[in-house]
Chains A and B, each alone.
Chain A
Amino acid sequence: MLPRVARLVRFEIAKLFRQKLPYLVLFPIVGAILLVIMNAMDVRGEAPGNPMVRNGYEYLTTSCLWALRLVSVFAVVLASLSLSSEAAQGTWRMVLVRPVTRTDVFVAKALVVAILVLALFALTIVFSWAALHVVHGFWRDGAYMSPLTEGKFTLMGEEVVPDPIRPQEALASDLRLSLALSLLPLLASGFFGLMLSSMFDNTGSAVGIAMFLAIFLYGFASVDRSAGKYVFSHSLEYGLVVAKHRAEGFSDRKWEDDGIRRAWQVPLLSGFLFLGAAYVIFLKRDILT
């Protein structure tokens, strides 16, 4: 089975990156990152120690938060095209008369959704990091200094002030944990899109409903915070919001074990549920007519 799935993954990736849509979604993501990073200019010159003064970690966390919110919606939308576009184009027959099984095809599609989500996730981090360094990196004493300078509270602009309360190592650790916690919700969003995709034979319905549900779930989770904790896509908020508050310095927010556990358990369970449902629907539906 593995060689067949590997061939199908190559096949899917070759198709995916020859389409415009995966590149088009990069524009709003990059836009969100740049807006947040560029916004740091506004607080230049505020006094060190003022809680409103921000640092590189805060900006990195905030840009990742906004960009990954978009990635979460795009993951649902892009994944919703995965199976439905084959049905809409009528290409299933061409693929399934080859020596592959439906299970091979499904596994490959799910893997490609995961790869796409991981790629968008990685691009978000890399671009946020790069943008932060390009926009706010600076030279001091003849050497380039990163806005994430070790052991320093980094003021956007030219000054670097030590911050004993928020040492670099603690901020870096918060950022790593928050990003790790945001990965599973993103994957679950992708598999949610895949499940929707398995239900529809036309891409318009799949994308429309996927977008509506993704935005609805996000809105619902924001309005009803107690129920929102159990919405898979909203779990990515927890880690990034905590890390952002801690980086800002004017909140005494701490990591909660319950929150961390929920942030990976809810998307993990949801992801498996969506994958299982998508697989059963895909096998049972008559996709050839």
Chain B
Amino acid sequence: MSAEVVLRTEALTKRFGAFAAVEDLSLEVRRGDVFGLLGLNGAGKTTTIRMATRLIAPTSGRVLLFGEDVRDNRLEILNRVGAMVEIPQFYPYLTGRTNLELLLGLSGSRDRARVAECLDRVGLAGRGDDRVRTYSQGMRQRLGLAQALLTRPELIILDEPTNGLDPQGILDMRRLIGGLNREEGVTFLISSHLLHEVELSCNRVAIVHRGRLKVQDEVSRLLAGAGSIARVRAEPLDLVRKVAAALGVAIESEEAGTLRVRCEPEALAAWAAELHRAGCRLHELTPGKATLEEYFLAATAGGPHAA
């Protein structure tokens, strides 16, 4: 039985004048997913998130959250959703703790213990009583996540959550998202252009390009379908290319005498033997795995993996 869909967009479209920021976008985020919304800057990720949280209205199409149209029941639905849209901004003259207390108050709760818990969870327990104006970008990002956690939401929508974080902060954020997902069953929709992060954090992903959906699937399936990438350094190059063509091995790129070729790991040995038989001098043959980055670049360039 397939998992419950907590967020579904149906033919979602947003136009600003003649410009279509999002066009005919249909996504499906299932309960328990850490769903990555990938795209270049200006691909329509933030516009999609704004429509999902009803900050802006779509030109056409609709967003269903927990099976209900967000237009019809926004207030009740938003009680079950935590969101951080774009760079989180807080009242700089208030402390982090007061900001959270006031924001939690808007949801009708005055649970100070929950505020302390959220601050602790994002690693800001020691700085909660400092004014936000003294916070670094990374700390504001953490506070943004803390405010999204306040109401114990079932779905958390995060727009570029690792923006401005240092490597340790990125690692902490990844662990935090993973922990909430595994331990509390929180579903995440995360927009990002950090492909490596999405690959490590998300189980499902959608790639949007110029407002349109290019592909939507499980990360593992996308990468398996993309085949494996091997690095080959051999001479002479003309002969290497001929052998590759004869065996049907696709050359993805070529740089300074090193080829990146797409073929299954089990075919590599046969190819190496064939290169040897053809008289090529093989200096290096490194098997590798396709990455989301390669898949993404191919998809957004309209290459062979574009859906």
Do these two chains really belong together in a complex? yes
- Taking the closest CB of chain A, its distance from the CB of B76, in whole angstroms, is 7
Question: What is the 8 Å Cβ interface bit string for chain B, positions 98-141, against chain A (1 contact, 0 not)?
Answer: 10001101111000000000000000000000000000000000
Residues in chain A near residue B76, CB distance under 8 A = 99
Complex alpha-carbon distance, A96 and B106, angstroms: 10
Instruction: Verify if B89 is at the interface (C-beta below 8 Å from A).
Output: yes
Instruction: Verify if A14 is at the interface (C-beta below 8 Å from B).
Output: yes
Complex alpha-carbon distance, A95 and B50, angstroms: 13
CB < 8 Å neighbour of B98 from A18, A91, A98, A99 = A18
Q: Give B25-40 interface residues, CB cut-off 8 Å to A.
A: none
Complex alpha-carbon distance, A100 and B90, angstroms: 17
Instruction: Please give the number of chain A residues whose Cβ is less than 8 angstroms from any Cβ of chain B in the complex.
Output: 24
Complex alpha-carbon distance, A286 and B74, angstroms: 19
Instruction: Verify if A8 is at the interface (C-beta below 8 Å from B).
Output: yes
A18-B106 contact in complex given A97-B53, A99-B75, C-beta closer than 8 Å = no
Instruction: Verify if B205 is at the interface (C-beta below 8 Å from A).
Output: no
Q: Give A7-62 interface residues, CB cut-off 8 Å to B.
A: 7-8, 10-11, 14-15, 18-19
CB < 8 Å neighbour of A15 from B55, B88, B89, B91 = B91
Centre residue among A18, A90, A97 by max chain B CB count within 10 A: A97
Complex alpha-carbon distance, A25 and B270, angstroms: 83
Instruction: Verify if A142 is at the interface (C-beta below 8 Å from B).
Output: no
Residues in chain A near residue B105, CB distance under 8 A = 7, 10-11, 14
Question: What is the 8 Å Cβ interface bit string for chain A, positions 204-217, against chain B (1 contact, 0 not)?
Answer: 00000000000000
A98-B89 contact in complex given A11-B102, A18-B98, A288-B56, C-beta closer than 8 Å = no
A8-B106 contact in complex given A97-B85, A99-B76, A99-B79, C-beta closer than 8 Å = yes
Instruction: Verify if A164 is at the interface (C-beta below 8 Å from B).
Output: no
Instruction: Verify if A101 is at the interface (C-beta below 8 Å from B).
Output: yes
Complex alpha-carbon distance, A91 and B93, angstroms: 13
Residues in chain A near residue B75, CB distance under 8 A = 4, 99-101
Instruction: Verify if A226 is at the interface (C-beta below 8 Å from B).
Output: no
Main secondary structure on A side of the interface with B: helix
Instruction: Verify if B147 is at the interface (C-beta below 8 Å from A).
Output: yes
Complex alpha-carbon distance, A93 and B83, angstroms: 9
Q: Are A98 and B78 in contact (CB under 8 A)?
A: yes
Q: Are B106 and A288 in contact (CB under 8 A)?
A: no
Instruction: Verify if B87 is at the interface (C-beta below 8 Å from A).
Output: yes
A93-B55 contact in complex given A7-B105, A7-B108, A15-B102, C-beta closer than 8 Å = yes
Q: Are B90 and A98 in contact (CB under 8 A)?
A: no
Q: Give B59-106 interface residues, CB cut-off 8 Å to A.
A: 74-76, 78-79, 81, 83, 85-94, 98, 102-103, 105-106
Complex alpha-carbon distance, A8 and B105, angstroms: 8
Complex alpha-carbon distance, A10 and B81, angstroms: 23
- Taking the closest CB of chain A, its distance from the CB of B253, in whole angstroms, is 38
Complex alpha-carbon distance, A98 and B153, angstroms: 12
Complex alpha-carbon distance, A95 and B91, angstroms: 11
Complex alpha-carbon distance, A91 and B132, angstroms: 13
Centre residue among A89, A90, A98, A99 by max chain B CB count within 10 A: A98
Which of chain A's residues has its CB closest to B77's CB? A99
CB < 8 Å neighbour of B91 from A10, A91, A96, A99 = A91
Question: What is the 8 Å Cβ interface bit string for chain A, positions 260-289, against chain B (1 contact, 0 not)?
Answer: 000000000000000000000000001010
Could you write out 6 A-B pairs with CB less than 8 Å apart? A7-B106, A11-B105, A15-B94, A18-B93, A93-B85, A95-B106
A residues near B, CB below 8 A? 3-4, 7-8, 10-11, 14-15, 18-19, 89-91, 93-101, 286, 288
Besides A14-B102, A93-B55, A96-B55, 11 new A-B residue pairs in contact (Cβ under 8 A), listed by A number? A4-B75, A7-B105, A11-B106, A15-B91, A89-B92, A93-B85, A93-B86, A95-B106, A99-B76, A99-B78, A99-B79
